[in-house]
Chains A and B, each alone.
Chain A
């Protein structure tokens, strides 16, 4: 027996709780719509550096995403950015900055910064937490990369060496050196990023870090820290640390779990809750509910039972191949896992994978195609359903890991999907 869940049909069911799903859900809930978010698990936002990378390579390194995008989209007509106008992109960036209370997001689509990764490789990024912006290697001269002895996934010597090499290759006069700190960890030899972030919220702990750092620093040195400077209190931790050592401090994203990713995920989930959005975690969308030939909702499985969630709109933000939003069988047959929408992958006869590990594998861009309103389309280019919209990595045509475009795509399409629904709601 299939029961219907929830008290009434929702205005929108959002499938997925990553960057795209949360953005769409928050925007809809704040506009007063009845929104239910259904997620198989917590989204990958908690693994992300929480920088909004719009376009870093296209394929050459991009200095201004805003300037590069028109030509990039013209060259890639099925790219998700084809549905995103420059104005909508800018709106989505402003919207995000206005929805994170813990600290400011700085930058815009007009210019990329070049921020170091945890292994010291410069990465182009457009809109970033204020705590990271100081890491732009083009304006740094002298930097100490601070490691924490018990944090096993962050190696300051490696980061500093790579940073020096990258700067030299780019003709920049940047000197970088490692500083390894051993703040008190109650005898623990292996302390993770989350645990350090909690410790930094303790004034005593950050005082000890500042004291050790002061003794180790040279004049005029900025300090790059692994991004573990607290959760809700990040702004005061960061400000206090800079004042205590009298030098600029910037955060460097770490290996997962990502503290900045958690700050962002928590901020959006908190907004969703405050706006009265409902959140169903640990349940999976397994198929469309068609009534009178129309998509009336989605079938949800939790445990042994299937239920139906009725909705006027469905926002599909289940992620791509890596997240299970797109499933590919061993023989190469692909399906969109929640609603069974048409998937566009390698052409018949075309190999799915190329021999080289880092080649541009045709399978890499597999996903849905959408029209200008983000409605998934069929082979004929026409929308399959009027009331389902796709957002984020479930849309194919992009190579986010190469382009450095993932969060920009997810944010802008999540924002736009909500926009399509709000326009319709009038």
Chain B
């Protein structure tokens, strides 16, 4: 038993562990570094010996939280969720680095940096500052950091006047599309409007995912509670909610409950109505309601389904969507993780591990004849571009181009 009943069903799943080691065959981190002894060892095995509020094995810090162990487990053990909880407890017992607080608050940084974006971007790409940041904060000097757009999607959305439409859908854009890549959010709106939707953009802040993955659970809970509070009225009214940030969508669908242990009605109704954008569009197509007036896109692209997209348990709907585009050749890559896992690969002591985790993926991309690499998650796209020097885009960007919008 834990102090949170909502987490008991997660922890109790460890009794289903038969020590088969399939999670260890799939763990990208354990396969890249001996510093991480593997998900079974630090997970179901060690969890039996942990007392509430205590977690002493430091090797757990090398878990990237990619979640692949839970996906791979044939017995339904929530390995990654158990490990995330234990890692948070471990980090609370120790001194939480200032860096982890900084990396965990993209919306705070977004609000501060957007008005001074040119300066912020100069600093973040400045070699001297990055060396200093590595020494003082532990942010690796070469790690991929995003650039601020200098404007926000929220502001664009407030001024946007859509045409009349019969159907409505709610868009959860997340911090990345708001502060770093508003054009992705705008393309998403255009694609949805092209399919006859009026896109509602309620006020929204960070979902708390980076806080959660850095073990700062209390603050993460208050962020996600506030967000689902904003979204719940729409969900109760029967609106579906689409997300272009696949990891933040997963936070609403599963992780807020399965890792943060939140059990309330706002979250339940929001999680049931939240869809990854590709999942949503593929479902539309299944119902015969997706417009397929795609122009030919005579290109070759690679597609990498990031670990956190795979956490949705929906397969790879992006492949089904991209297959609708004439003359587009898609190479499906079969790698589990690019290594970055949110903020993991940005940290000084983990950068090399993250690059090694992603090496197979990077090699597949650079050795392919593809013009573009496609991937659903923003941090993975930054990592892929950083490691391969090739542009990486969200599947919606390809659909947007094929629609000729």
Point out residues on A near B: beta carbons under 8 Å.
Answer: 1, 3-8, 36, 38-44, 46-47, 186, 188, 192, 194-195, 198, 256-257, 262, 269-270, 273, 278-284, 302-305, 307, 310, 319, 322-324
Contact = CB atoms under 8 A, between A and B. Distances in A.
B363 to A, nearest CB: 13
Given A273-B334, A280-B315, A303-B312, A5 B73 contact: no
A4 B317 CA distance: 12
Given A279-B315, A303-B271, 12 more contacts: A5-B279, A8-B285, A40-B76, A41-B74, A46-B22, A192-B38, A257-B21, A257-B24, A279-B316, A281-B310, A302-B313, A303-B254
B70 A282 contact: yes
A302 B314 contact: yes
Nearest to A38: B315
Contact of A47 (B20, B76, B332): B20
Which of A262, A282, A302 neighbours the largest number of chain B CB atoms within 10 Å of its CB? Answer: A282
A278 B319 CA distance: 9
Given A44-B22, A278-B315, A303-B313, A194 B31 contact: yes
A47 B22 contact: yes
A262 B253 contact: no
Interface in B45-86: 70-76
A59 to B, nearest CB: 27
Nearest to A310: B286
Given A6-B320, A41-B71, A278-B319, A304 B282 contact: no
B405 interface: no
Given A4-B287, A278-B319, A304-B272, A41 B75 contact: yes
Contacts of A188: 34
Kindly list the 9 A-B residue pairs having the minimum CB-CB distance in the complex, ordered from nearest. Answer: A302-B313, A41-B74, A280-B315, A282-B71, A283-B313, A282-B313, A257-B21, A7-B320, A7-B285
A42 B283 contact: no
Which of A1, A8, A40, A188 neighbours the largest number of chain B CB atoms within 10 Å of its CB? Answer: A40
Contacts of B334: 269-270, 273
Nearest to B76: A40
Nearest to B292: A7
A328 B390 CA distance: 52
Given A41-B72, A257-B24, A5 B285 contact: no
A218 to B, nearest CB: 34
A305 B286 CA distance: 17
Interface of B: 18, 20-22, 24-26, 31, 34, 38, 70-76, 253-254, 257, 268, 271-272, 279, 282-283, 285-287, 310-317, 319-321, 323-324, 332, 334
A123 B323 CA distance: 47
A279 to B, nearest CB: 6
A39 B254 CA distance: 18
Contacts, number: 124
B313 A42 contact: no
Contacts of B70: 282
Nearest to B280: A3
A302 B254 CA distance: 9
Given A41-B72, A257-B22, A4 B286 contact: yes
Contacts of B279: 5
Given A6-B282, A44-B74, A303-B313, A194 B22 contact: no
A226 to B, nearest CB: 15
25 contacts: A5-B314, A5-B317, A6-B317, A6-B320, A8-B286, A40-B74, A42-B25, A47-B22, A192-B24, A194-B24, A194-B25, A195-B34, A257-B21, A273-B334, A278-B316, A280-B313, A280-B314, A281-B72, A302-B314, A303-B312, A304-B257, A305-B271, A307-B283, A307-B314, A323-B74
Given A7-B282, A269-B334, A281-B313, A304 B268 contact: yes
Contacts of A195: 31, 34
A299 to B, nearest CB: 13
A304 B274 CA distance: 10
Contacts of A47: 20-22
Nearest to A274: B332
Contact of B311 (A1, A44, A282): A282
B308 to A, nearest CB: 12
Contacts of A198: 31
A256 B21 contact: yes
Given A280-B313, A282-B310, A324 B76 contact: yes
A40 B287 CA distance: 26
A319 B24 CA distance: 21
Nearest to A279: B315
Nearest to A187: B34
A43 B313 CA distance: 16
Nearest to A186: B34
Contact of A4 (B75, B272, B283): B283
A280 B315 CA distance: 4
Contacts of A319: 74
Nearest to A17: B74
Contacts of B38: 192
B304 to A, nearest CB: 13
A4 B312 CA distance: 15
A256 B20 contact: yes
Nearest to A301: B313
A3 B321 CA distance: 17
Nearest to A255: B21
B321 to A, nearest CB: 8
Contacts of A270: 334
Contacts of B314: 5, 280, 283, 302, 307
A294 B163 CA distance: 42
Nearest to B72: A42
A43 B73 CA distance: 9
A1 B24 CA distance: 36
A257 B19 CA distance: 10
Contact of B74 (A43, A186, A194, A307): A43
Given A4-B286, A41-B72, A302 B312 contact: yes
A41 B320 CA distance: 22
Contacts of B283: 3-5, 307
A42 B76 contact: no
B383 to A, nearest CB: 22
A31 B75 CA distance: 31
Contacts of B286: 4-8, 310
Contacts of A262: 25
Contacts of B271: 303-305
Contacts of B315: 5-6, 36, 38, 278-281, 283
A262 B23 CA distance: 12
A95 B117 CA distance: 60
Contacts of B22: 41-42, 44, 46-47, 256-257
A407 to B, nearest CB: 16
Contacts of B323: 7
Contacts of A194: 24-25, 31
Given A262-B25, A280-B313, A304-B268, A42 B74 contact: yes
